[in-house]
Structure 1
Amino acid sequence: MQDALIFLLPLTLLLVHIVSRLRLRHAPTRKAAYARLTAARSALQRMLHTLGLGQPDVYVTDRFATHRLLVHGAAAGGAFSDRPPSIVPSAVLSRRRHYNINSAPYGPLWRAVRRNLTSEILHPSRLRRYGPARRRALGGLVADLDRQRASGGVVLAVESLREAKFGLLAAMCFGGGVDAGLVRAMADTQDDLVQFFLGLRVFATLPAVTGLIYRNRWRKLVELRRQQEQTYLPLIDARRDRASRHGEAPLYVDTLVDLRVSDEHAASAGTRRRRRRQQRRLTDGELVGLCSEFLGAGTEPAAAALQWIMANLVKRSDVQRALRKEIDAAVGADADEVREEVLGRLEYLNAVIMEGLRLHPTVPMVLRQVMAEDHVVLDGRRLPAGTAVHFPLARLARDKTAWADPREFRPERFLAGGEGEGEGVNLVAAAGSAGEIRMMPFGGGRRICPGMASPCSTSATSWPTW
């Protein structure tokens, strides 16, 4: 009886929603009605899956199996590069029409927007041109920390770090001339979305139905999105007709405005090859979603990673002293800053960062969903389409068979002669180039972090979620 109620509840809600919509519209054609019912059936199947009545979720904790699935998962067919239905606001509000890099299904749109970020913004030659903006952000951070210390109160270092990082990314996205109050408003809205994120899980499947059940959450989501559009769209519109100046650092929004992507929703007329050639600009919804992702994914993971690293440095005064000694030897004890060209030579600093990311990944899981075209085999059994595969990052990185005393904060393991030698320098090794994955703070496979190859000072704590 209980199983019957679980089955009938979502079906009843779905039928009520369909009937209520039909009362306000003309009767659809037979072809349109069939298409709607087919889509509703697929959505219902996804909901039943989330209720535990479909394929079970699979958790992979073996480092060799993780490497085989994520790095070589496409060898037997398919790509194994899709994720379960996303709960990012762009995808939820647009009924899966507006995506960002994190939520887009594997395909032409995902490849285009990811390639744009990698080549136009995160390439080392591009990142170097943001040096003045980084120095301004660092100067503001130091000044803010000094003000807090002088006041005699508690120094909220993480909040200062988050504000400095968000301001830097806002300058990289929209330019350095954005009003400080507007940047603060963007940061506040982004923070509200982060705090509200877990509440969006209910909209992962059948948002038309769950939006009726959780009306207050839906209204809050719509309001937060409206605030973002009111803030971002004027800045985006101001850049559409700009005259680019030679030598200026590229702005992320400029690259998005100029980008052309394949029109996957082209009319059915014409050959498939002709449809693939059709190009379109990104919609306003996609532009807002991508800018929001750029600001959020570059701020929150960095703040979380730095918070964990600082906490471990407070606990380990010996690590503090060793780090201070290395920095003093490289730039002098009286230096005001560590120049970017020096950062790559600070081996112990990079080891501290890598150990912090190993012990405290900034995201708990890497997720994949098996699609019909995938051929994913685990323990001799092919996983059926629709199965969600979870790769828990902390458990992988604390495997006792891969690391000695894996729960201990020990940066020395990433120095020469340590068990993690080379992984602190060659980040690809940490993603499994040696046939196993002992840690993957940057993900793995085709969806590995696009900024992983950038300098550790920029990407190691900034771009781990994509």
Structure 2
Amino acid sequence: MAETQDYLQLFLLCLLSTIAVGTIISKTLRKRRRPPGPQSLPIIGHLHLISALPHQSFHALATRYGPLMQLFLGSVPCVVVSSPEVAKEFLKTHEARFSNRFVSAAVHQLSYGSKGFLFAPYGTFWRFAKRICMSQLLGARTLGQLRHVREQETLRFLRVMKAKGEAREAVDVGGELLTLTNNVITRMVLGRTCCESDADVEGVRKMVEDTAELAGLFNVADFVWFCKGLDLHGMNKRVGEIMNRFDGIMERVIREHEEERKRKKEEGVEGEKIGDLLDILLDIHEDESNEMKFTRDNVKAFIMDIFMAGTDTSAITMEWAISELINNPQVMEKARQEIDSATENNSRLIQESDLGNLPYLRAIVKETLRIHPTSPFIGRESSENSNVCGYDIPAKTVLFVNLWSMGRDPKQWESPLEFRPERFMMDDDDDDEFDVRGHNMQLMPFGTGRRVCPGASLALQVVPTNLAAMIQCFEWKVNGRVSMEEKPGMTIPKAHPLLCVPVPRFSLPF
């Protein structure tokens, strides 16, 4: 009997303690000021409110709950920012606390365990990786020495368009642009080694498309705790297949590079000229004096990052741009007059060196990036508790800065749904006010601050140069108005392929 009473007292003590602790926690939580947001459901949070195009769902919710709102994607707390003013608080004032990226299971696997520069945690290795990107891989000297690769691939693309146009054959413009950017990146990164046949090129292209798609998909297992480890969407299998293909290609190419490097060293013909970006990475890998150990997986992860960040993004931006120009012929004609003037009435093909004399073309690229940003979000994750704009933001909160929404905000842009490059034309021809490298929070398609995209310089050469060549050389004939519907992905591809007949404007000099 006494023993029963003891158990009863112990039970009551535990019950009262639990109630007391729960009350304290509840009061503490109520004292914390959290951003506004819709009512969440148990377990799934707000996942039921998110469509296959999350940026559009976030935009619709922001019209009701404001430019800073809280959502729960399953058990993961998130904040969504939809205005430049609030974005500045997170990405400038509190940047140190929001310098990590949210990394999904698929992205973690695709990046060899986040061993590249895109998704590495903020810290010593990431700073080392960024220096490699900015000073060696994607610096001005390297890009200058590899300009001939970009020029050759532009000519190859234009010859294909010319042949199709002369035969009055419609082409999938987005597909051809993806082949162009894939060839540029492949040759800059790996040389000719892995693109010796059309089958190799098509294989790499398909792999890049699949990678971008899988990296951008919302996977329930990333957000609902009891689904972790479950492959509900079959993503693990697809990611595994991609990694097997990619790793096989990379091991073959690295071995070939190592053999060639060994041969040149034995013959004493090593020089200063850059072969390709893989040679730079292998130099770093073999240099034992580096402050950080740079493994073979780091080499492959860097290359995967470059493919992910530099291939479909540039192709999609050019496809959106030419689609907007077809739907806005007066803009197309104005751009064409500027290009014709710069090339002395088409006596030669437009070049990268001409971009400084093409302010209207640069404005077209900016207007395209405003309406169709390279990626719909800037995604970060908080590393510690913060108070931003008067709200308490706990550690491990995922931050989404909705660039797509900010580009359509009528408070920021007059007639935001209209394609008007003139909004970026300054009276004194000084367009630095809207620099796209992250200095202006209204327009930051490449991100901002510490984690700004290191490939911005390359993109801002490839995209406008090839777009200018497309405008200069061809009339783009379509049936009716071009659809501007979007498709899900890590980037924002067009839902419907752009099918055009590229009719040559004059006797093309190639």
| Length-normalised TM-score, structure 2 | 0.69
Q: Which amino acid aligns with 2:423?
A: R
Q: Tell me what 2:333 maps to.
A: 321
Structure 1: gaps of 5 or more residues: 8-48, 264-276
User: Is the 1:412–1:418 contact (alpha carbons within 8 Å) kept by the matching residues of 2?
Assistant: no
Q: Which amino acid aligns with 2:169?
A: G
Q: 1:217 aligns with which of 225, 231, 235?
A: 235
Does 1:442 find its partner at 2:446?
A: yes
Q: Tell me what 2:79 maps to.
A: 58
Cα gap change, 1:261 to 1:382, in 2 (>3 Å): farther
Q: Tell me what 1:92 maps to.
A: 109
User: Is the 1:162–1:299 contact (alpha carbons within 8 Å) kept by the matching residues of 2?
Assistant: yes
Cα gap change, 1:215 to 1:377, in 2 (>3 Å): closer
User: Is the 1:393–1:441 contact (alpha carbons within 8 Å) kept by the matching residues of 2?
Assistant: yes
Does 1:128 find its partner at 2:136?
A: no
Deviation at 1:143, TM superposition (A): 1.2
Structure 2: gaps of 5 or more residues: 1-39, 45-70, 467-489, 492-510
Q: Deviations over 1:26-54 (max 9, x none)?
A: xxxxxxxxxxxxxxxxxxxxxxx965345
User: Is the 1:353–1:460 contact (alpha carbons within 8 Å) kept by the matching residues of 2?
Assistant: yes
User: Is the 1:148–1:154 contact (alpha carbons within 8 Å) kept by the matching residues of 2?
Assistant: yes
Does 1:103 find its partner at 2:116?
A: no
Q: Distance in 1 between matches of 2:430 and 2:386?
A: 29
Does 1:180 find its partner at 2:197?
A: yes
Comparing 227-236 with 206-215, greater Cα deviation is found at 206-215
Q: Tell me what 1:391 maps to.
A: 401
Q: Tell me what 1:251 maps to.
A: 276
Q: Deviations over 1:31-90 (max 9, x none)?
A: xxxxxxxxxxxxxxxxxx965345x3111122112112212224xxx442012233445x
Cα gap change, 1:133 to 1:4, in 2 (>3 Å): closer
Q: Distance in 1 between matches of 2:428 and 2:399?
A: 32
Q: Distance in 1 between matches of 2:159 and 2:340?
A: 21
Q: Tell me what 1:234 maps to.
A: 252
User: Is the 1:368–1:389 contact (alpha carbons within 8 Å) kept by the matching residues of 2?
Assistant: yes
Q: Tell me what 2:391 maps to.
A: 381
CA RMSD of aligned residues (A): 3.5
Deviation at 1:292, TM superposition (A): 2.0
Cα gap change, 1:93 to 1:70, in 2 (>3 Å): closer
Comparing 162-171 with 192-201, greater Cα deviation is found at 192-201
User: Is the 1:109–1:261 contact (alpha carbons within 8 Å) kept by the matching residues of 2?
Assistant: no
Does 1:303 find its partner at 2:328?
A: no
Q: Which amino acid aligns with 1:190?
A: V
Q: Which amino acid aligns with 1:143?
A: R
Comparing 241-250 with 415-424, greater Cα deviation is found at 415-424
| Length-normalised TM-score, structure 1 | 0.75
Fraction of identical pairs, as percent: 24
Q: Which amino acid aligns with 1:254?
A: D
Q: Which amino acid aligns with 1:92?
A: Q
Q: Tell me what 1:271 maps to.
A: none
Q: How does 1:33-432 map to 2 (within 5 A)?
A: 52-53=74-75, 56-74=77-95, 78-89=96-107, 91-92=108-109, 97-178=113-194, 179-181=196-198, 182-199=200-217, 201-202=219-220, 204=222, 210-214=228-232, 216-240=234-258, 242=261, 243=264, 245-259=270-284, 279-284=292-297, 286-372=298-384, 376-417=386-427, 421-424=431-434, 426-428=435-437, 431-432=438-439
User: Is the 1:99–1:289 contact (alpha carbons within 8 Å) kept by the matching residues of 2?
Assistant: yes
Q: Deviations over 1:330-360 (max 9, x none)?
A: 1122334112211121111101101110111
Q: Distance in 1 between matches of 2:218 and 2:302?
A: 18
Q: Tell me what 1:30 maps to.
A: none
Q: Which amino acid aligns with 1:180?
A: S
Secondary structure of the corresponding residue to residue 357 of structure 2: coil
Q: Distance in 2 between matches of 1:5 and 1:352?
A: 46
User: Is the 2:79–2:399 contact (alpha carbons within 8 Å) kept by the matching residues of 1?
Assistant: yes
Q: How many residues align?
A: 394
Rg comparison, structure with higher value: 2
